Amino acid sequence: MRAAIIGGTGYGAIELIRLMNNHPYLEIGSVVSNSQAGNGFSESYPHLTEIINQPLESFNADRLAKENDIVFLATPSGVSSKLAPVLVDNGIKVIDLSGDFRLRSQTEYETWYKHSAPEEKYLSQAVYGLSEIYAEEIKGAALIANPGCYPTATSLGLLPILKANLADSQSIIIDAKSGVSGAGRGLSLTSHYAEINENLKAYKLGAHQHIPEIEQVLTDETGNPITVTFTTHLVPMSRGIMITAYVNVTEKISTNTIHDLYKKFYENHPFVRVRPTGTYPSTKEVSGSNYCDIGLHVDPRTNRLTIISVIDNLVKGAAGQAIQNANIMNDWDVRTGLNSIPMYP
């Protein structure tokens, strides 16, 4: 099955290429980058020298539809909203890694993203691709809105306790930390090495566009309207996201009980590893892999649950989950092409 990649010179596309290279059924098809069309890959990414030899192409919906079986959009928000409809109308399945089709409400989208929302018609057919939760819907979808990196780690961390109705849904605080690659390869002072190295920075307090996405999933899954406090920090590392989530539990309950609840919740989901009580995952322990690792601790003094949830932002938080969704859509084992061991150290 040939898979095209649009937005071919961003980190998301590059990670798709790395992962597809290990995938037995997905073959790298067209790779599109309007800005670099005609150039070789290794000019932008010398690590692909002698590995990916095809040139970058410009966008052509007809040709894309003809020559490929599925398209991954690794384009920025605002671009996907324009390209996805063309492709869907051409009858090709689309997995969009941007935020454009994640929010069902156009108003919410425009409030947080500050530009025009996609058409209602496409929004309504998009399926939110949180693989562990929405596998059924993903199976038949024509357009997948691949979840954001923060929402993936957050939702997987919070859903078991919330769906068990054991937590105060208005008490949720999410302290999020990310490596720098999450902001992409674009140039800005906040990705300048000398500004970020040996530094820790909080940013976008109360204004991050992943807030409504998180609230939408948690609200959908619990049936209660949920509002969260969500703070993002930039950590001096290239890859990795950690979510430290806090929630008040509604009855006296031990860490062990909650641990068992999580183990059961994820027993058929190989990419979520609930860690033994008393231990907590670190980001490097999932680096390069599609795992989401979760640690749990209830403080009996405050009756508050602390959840540590880590992912590699470029894998489970982007390209890996996109391929996981492609596996689900095609009824392949969900692990197909994604069973590499994290790179440690």
Q: Is the Cβ of residue 81 or residue 313 nearer to a copy of itself in the bound state? A: 313
Q: How far is the CB of 277 from a copy of itself (least distance, A)?
A: 10
Q: Which of residues 165-204 bind a copy of itself (CB under 8 A)?
A: 170, 173, 175, 177, 179-181, 185, 187-189, 191-203
Q: Which of residues 287-326 bind a copy of itself (CB under 8 A)?
A: 287-289, 293, 295, 297, 299, 301-302, 304, 306, 308, 310
Q: How far is the CB of 106 from a copy of itself (least distance, A)?
A: 20
Distance (Å, whole) CA 173 – CA 170:
9
Q: How far is the CB of 321 from a copy of itself (least distance, A)?
A: 17
Distance (Å, whole) CA 17 – CA 28:
7
Q: Kindly indicate which of the ranges 53-61, 93-101, 117-125, 274-282 contains the residues binding a copy of itself, using the contact rule CB under 8 A.
A: 274-282
Altogether, the residues listed in the chain come to a count of 345
Q: Kindly indicate which of the ranges 104-112, 138-146, 272-280, 323-331 contains the residues binding a copy of itself, using the contact rule CB under 8 A.
A: 272-280
Q: Which of residues 40-69 bind a copy of itself (CB under 8 A)?
A: 45-51
Q: Is the Cβ of residue 22 or residue 224 nearer to a copy of itself in the bound state? A: 22
Torsion from C-alpha of 72, 178, 342, 131, nearest 10 degrees: -40
Q: How far is the CB of 129 from a copy of itself (least distance, A)?
A: 23
Q: How far is the CB of 111 from a copy of itself (least distance, A)?
A: 12
Q: Which of residues 202-221 bind a copy of itself (CB under 8 A)?
A: 202-203, 205-206
Catalytic pick among 149, 235, 249, 334: 149
Q: Is the Cβ of residue 16 or residue 123 nearer to a copy of itself in the bound state? A: 16
Distance (Å, whole) CA 142 – CA 89:
10
Distance (Å, whole) CA 325 – CA 63:
24
Q: How far is the CB of 230 from a copy of itself (least distance, A)?
A: 9
Q: Is the Cβ of residue 41 or residue 128 nearer to a copy of itself in the bound state? A: 41
Residue 257 interacts with a copy of itself (CB under 8 A): yes or no: no
Q: Which of residues 68-87 bind a copy of itself (CB under 8 A)?
A: none
Q: Which of residues 11-40 bind a copy of itself (CB under 8 A)?
A: 11, 14, 17-18, 21-22
Phi, psi of 10 (to 5 degrees): -90, 170
Q: How far is the CB of 327 from a copy of itself (least distance, A)?
A: 18
Q: Which residue has the tokens 């997995």?
A: 95
Asked if 292 is an active-site residue, the reply is no
Q: Is the Cβ of residue 151 or residue 240 nearer to a copy of itself in the bound state? A: 240
Decide: helix, strand or coil at residue 331: coil
Residue 157 interacts with a copy of itself (CB under 8 A): yes or no: no
Q: Kindly indicate which of the ranges 83-91, 111-119, 146-154, 333-341 contains the residues binding a copy of itself, using the contact rule CB under 8 A.
A: 333-341
Tokens of 96: 């969009």
Contacts of 55 (CB under 8 A, 6+ apart): 37, 38, 39, 40, 41
Residue 279 interacts with a copy of itself (CB under 8 A): yes or no: yes
Q: Which of residues 215-254 bind a copy of itself (CB under 8 A)?
A: 227-229, 231, 233, 235-240, 242, 244, 246
DSSP code string of 131-169: HHHHHHHHHT-SEEEPPPHHHHHHHHHHHHHHHTT-B-T
Distance (Å, whole) CA 72 – CA 326:
10
Whether the Cβ atoms of residue 35 and residue 58 lie closer than 8 Å to each other: no
* Sign of the C-alpha dihedral computed for residues 271, 327, 237 and 189 taken in this order: negative
Q: Which residue has the tokens 């590499």?
A: 340
DSSP code string of 68-114: -SEEEE-PPTTTHHHHHHHHHHTT-EEEE-SSTTT-S-HHHHHHHH-
List active site positions: 149
